[in-house]
Structure 1
Amino acid sequence: MSDLLWQKDGVRVDARIMRFLAGDDVLLDREFLLHDITASKAHVAGLGRIDVLSADEVASITRELDALAEDFRNGDFILDDTHEDGHSAIEARLVDRLGDVGRKVHTGRSRNDQVLVATRLWLKERLDDLSDLCVAIAEVCLQRAGGESLPLPGYTHLQRAVVSSTAMWFAGFAEGFIDNAARARTTRDWLDANPLGTAAGYGVNLPLDRAYTTEALGFARMQVSPIYAQLSRGKFELGALDALASTLLDLRRLAWDLSLFTTAEFGFVRLPDEYTTGSSIMPNKRNPDVVEMLRASYAPVAAARVEIEQLLSLPSGYQRDLQLSKGSLWHGFTHGLRALDLMPDLLARMQWNGEAMRAAIEPSMHATDVAIEQAAAGVPFRTAYRAAAEAGSDTGSGRTPESSLTARVSPGGAAALGLEILHDRLKALKDKQREAH
């Protein structure tokens, strides 16, 4: 490991302790390094604006930061355990190339505000990705909801309940993912604050131009209090994971439906072959492994959330415990976004088995329609309810699934899906995305 930024003369560094302290940090920092470099450029420019660095020093440091970013993208610079972390690697590179000028880069900042600003920049991108994926999923769902409507049994308590439709199924998940996209945007706006210049949590004795760095880094506002900058660590990561987790809850329920619907007992859905795998021992099997892994994808995000929450039993000020939040955050978002990325294609290409779905609709599933029709004609609803219950399987004799769906005129029902309302909401979200990008 190269010289440590905080190394003092006469203090022995124990390699075992350093391995424990560093953990996976240097590997995880590969994900955040370019954001750290971007923030370093803004910080250096800000130091130039208050005459702590000369124009030539700003130009030379900026040039080397750009070169480091390019080398990292090309694979010519590899962040490895020769460095304690990404922050140390940046400074070591500048010192190697610029000598004493490189040693000036850390004036007025701490690794604390470095990691805060890099994480917030990274999360803004990830929440953009989350919103984009939710919009893409909603678009497919709306397209399929408007394209065809086949009778589909509706279930409560996993028991056949009423007649539903494939259009209603898709419309339900379309609205869910529109809401998820909106929540991702709101969360992005909530954490869009610049902590750079708060240093170790108490400010510095320099008139840092924090308004400039806020604008240069594309933040909507400045995080004013240095103490709150530290208090917010973990809190804003949890908020981002909450937005992701709520999306994956919808994904889990969708995947559960597909898990049931693809069984031979239901037979309602056929998946594209690429989304199934074979058995290692049973030649007759094609398994919906992708759907099952999608169903499980909430778990890593929930685990990441719990792990970070458990770190936050802390007093004010920076505590090293918070280093462990980085891995949880990265793993939760990486897995969650990979799962969501599969959904638009899967939903576009899955096929309904209309014959099997129709066969699963039995006459008693029209009982609710019968009771409501009688209530609309003046019979007290509870009386109509009991009469329909007593009629049992004969309740809906002579009725068709199509007649039930055509009569379902309540807003959002099969005959009044309200797809135009959902399209308008989706368009408004996409307009906001374009403005943000």
Structure 2
Amino acid sequence: MSDLLWQKPGVKVDARIQAFLAGEDVILDREFFLFDIQASRAHAQGLQRIGILSAEELDGLSRELELLAQDFSAGHFVLDERFEDGHSAIEGRLIERLGDAGRKIHTGRSRNDQILVATRLWLKDRLARVYALCRESADVALARAQAESALPLPGYTHLQRAVVSSAGMWWAAWAEGFIDDAVRAQQTLDWVDANPLGSAAGYGVNLPLDRDHTTQALGFGRLQVSAAYAQLSRGKFEMAAIEALTSALLDLRRLAWDLSLFTSAEYGFVALPAEYTTGSSIMPNKRNPDVIELMRASYSAAAAARTEIEQLLSLPSGYHRDLQFSKGAIFHAFGRGLGALELLPDLLRNLEWRPERLRAALEPSMYATDLAVDLAREGLPFREAYRQAADPARWAQGDPEASLAARVSPGAAADLRLHTLRERLDALPAATLSQA
């Protein structure tokens, strides 16, 4: 490992203790590295604006930071055990290439606000991806709801056959769910969009740092004003981001559960795209819905990560090394969660209904609720209508299309209000992803 940034003369570094302190930090920091470089560039610009760096020094630092980003992206520069973490790797490279100009880069900042700003930029990028994928999934679901609005589909409560429903209703439910998830991701992104750079170790510094410049240069929506609160917000913002992610994954989990049931031989309602299934290692006849099962499981990783961070936050104010462990949690949550969400739009586009199996599952009892409501509309008190409609002797195989056409309450099969959902979706901002 290279010389430690904090090492003092005469202090011996115990290799075992240092290994425990560093943990997986340098490996995890690969996720943040490009954002850390981006923030270092903005910080250098701010230092030049207050006279700490000359224009020539800023040019050199900007050039070397860009080259470092390119080398890292191309695999020519690797974060490994040579470095304590990503921050020290950046500073070490700049010192190696630029000498004293590189030694000046840390003026006015701490690794505390370095990790805060890199985390915020990373979270903004990931939340933008959640937002974009939820919008796309909602768009696909709306299109299929429109195309398949009249396709009869058994409706279930308690996993028991209940009433005649439609593919249109099923799709519209997921469309509205993912619209809400997109809204939540965007709102959370807006809340996280605050610049902590310049808060240093949580108490500011005796320099007139141009924090407004770094806020603008890094594309933040606002400045996080209080240096002390910048430290207090670590973990809090990460939990909020994970909660936005889990909102989408909760809908994905339930959708995946439906498809797990619908693709079974007992239901046989849906055929999955072949690439979303795998074979058994021993049973030649099997095609397993492994992809949707892992989609269903992805929620657990995000929920566990949120709990892990929450447990870290039993702390007084100020920075504490406990917070180092929050990095692995958010990487795990978004790694699993985004991996699942990125497969969802194509799955929704390409799954196929089996109409003959859907229709065969519609039995006479599923029209009993229609009968009860019809009797009530004719003037019979509903409880008496309910009693009469509960008599199996009055059940007959009904017409599913007629049942759907009669379901005229807003949001039901005959009045899906897809135009309302489309207006909500189209009113959302266009998806934009980070260029870091």
Quote the residue 1:277 is aligned against: 278
Partner residue in 2 for 1:402: 401
Q: Which residue of 2 aligns with 1:310?
A: 311
Partner of 1:157: 158
User: Partners of 1:69 and 1:288 in 2: how far apart?
Assistant: 40
In structure 1, the partner of 2:132 is: 132
Give the corresponding residue for 1:433: 431
- 1:18 maps to 18
* Partner secondary structure for residue 39 of structure 1: helix
| Match of residue 48 from structure 2 | 48
Q: Deviations over 1:178-236 (max 9, x none)?
A: 10011000000000000000000000011111111101110000000011001100000
Match of 1:332 in 2: 333
Structure 2 residue aligned with 1:210: 211
Give yes or no for contact 2:111–2:200 (8 Å, CA) kept in 1.
yes
User: Equivalent residue for 1:246?
Assistant: 247
Q: In structure 2, the residue corresponding to 1:433 is in which secondary structure?
A: coil
Report the CA distance shift for 1:299/1:82 in structure 2 as closer, same or farther (over 3 A): same
User: Whole-Å Cα distance in 1 between the matches of residues 430 and 337 of structure 2?
Assistant: 23
SS, match of residue 7 in structure 1: coil
Distance across 1 between alignment mates of 2:395 and 2:433: 52
Q: How many residue pairs get matched?
A: 434
- 1:265 lines up with 2:263 in the alignment: no
For structure 2, list consecutive stretches of 5 or more residues without a partner in the other structure.
none
Query: How far apart are the structure 1 equivalents of 2:433 and 2:349?
Result: 28
Q: Give the aligned partner of residue 225 of structure 1.
A: 226
Are the counterparts in 1 of residues 298 and 336 from structure 2 also a CA contact under 8 Å? Answer: yes
Q: Which residue of 1 aligns with 2:201?
A: 200
The AA in structure 2 aligned to 1:408 is R
Check the 8 A contact 1:153/1:165 in 2, yes or no. Answer: yes
* 2:14 partner amino acid: D
Contact kept in structure 1, 2:269 and 2:355, CA below 8 Å? yes
Give 4+ residue runs of structure 1 displaced > 4 Å after superposition: 434-437
Distance 1:224 1:171, change over 3 A: same
Instruction: Say whether residues 1:420 and 2:414 are aligned partners.
Output: no
**What per-residue deviation string (whole Å, max 9, x for no partner) do you get for residues 166-187 of structure 1?**
1110110010001001100000
CA 1:435–1:250: 2 relative to 1, 3 Å: closer
Task: Please list every run of 5 or more consecutive structure 1 residues that lacks an aligned counterpart in the other structure.
Answer: none
Aligned twin of 2:72: 72
Deviates most, 242-251 or 362-371: 362-371
What displacement does 1:345 show?
1.0
Structure 2 residue 116 is the aligned partner of structure 1 residue 143: no
User: What SS does the aligned partner of 2:154 have?
Assistant: strand
- Indicate the SS of the match to 1:342: helix
Identity %: 67
Partner of 1:117: 117
Shift of 1:436: 9.8
State yes or no: 1:34 paired with 2:49: no
Map 1:358-377; keep pairs closer than 5 Å: 358-377=359-378
Q: Structure 2 counterpart of 1:410, which letter?
A: S
Shift of residue 299 of structure 1?
A: 0.8
TM-score (norm 2): 0.98
Q: For residue 377 of structure 2, what is the amino acid of its counterpart?
A: A
| Cα distance in 2 for residues equivalent to 1:363 and 1:13 | 78
TM-score (norm 1): 0.97
Distance 2:55 2:418 in 1: 58
Q: Distance in 2 between matches of 1:155 and 1:2?
A: 62
CA displacement at 1:433 relative to structure 2: 3.2
Q: Does 1:82 align with 2:82?
A: yes
Cα deviations across residues 137-191 of structure 1 (Å, max 9, x unaligned)? 1111111111123111100111111110111101100100010011000000000
Counterpart of 1:168 in structure 2 is 169
Report if aligned partners of 1:140, 1:347 keep a CA contact under 8 Å in 2: yes
Give deviations 1:364-423, integer Å, cap 9, x for gaps.
11111111111122111111111111x12x444152111110101111111111111111
Q: Which amino acid aligns with 1:35?
A: F
Query: Which residue is equivalent to 2:387?
Result: 386
Contact 2:279–2:287 (8 Å) recurs in 1: yes
SS of 1:123's equivalent in the other structure is helix
Q: In structure 2, what residue type is equivalent to 1:273?
A: A
* Larger mean Cα displacement after TM superposition, 213-222 or 367-376: 367-376
Aligned partners of 2:197 and 2:214 also within 8 Å: yes
In structure 2, what is the Cα distance between the partners aligned to 1:280 and 1:73? 38
In terms of mean alpha carbon deviation, does 399-408 or 189-198 score higher? Answer: 399-408
Determine if contact 2:125/2:433 at 8 Å carries over to the other structure: no
Q: How far apart are 1:79 and its partner, in Å?
A: 1.0
Contact 1:366 1:395 in 2 (8 A): no
Conserved 8 A contact 1:150-1:167: yes
Residues 1:103 and 2:103 aligned together: yes
Query: Is the Cα contact below 8 Å between 1:364 and 1:395 reproduced in 2?
Result: no
Cα separation, 2, equivalents of 1:290 and 1:22: 35
Corresponding letter in the other structure for 1:413:
A
CA distance in 2, matches of 1:24, 1:436: 25
CA distance in 1, matches of 2:207, 2:400: 74
Contact 1:113 1:200 in 2 (8 A): yes
Task: Tell me how large the CA RMSD over aligned residues is.
Answer: 1.3
Question: Deviations 1:11-68 (Å, cap 9, x if unpaired)?
Answer: 1101111111111110111111111111111111101111111111111111111111
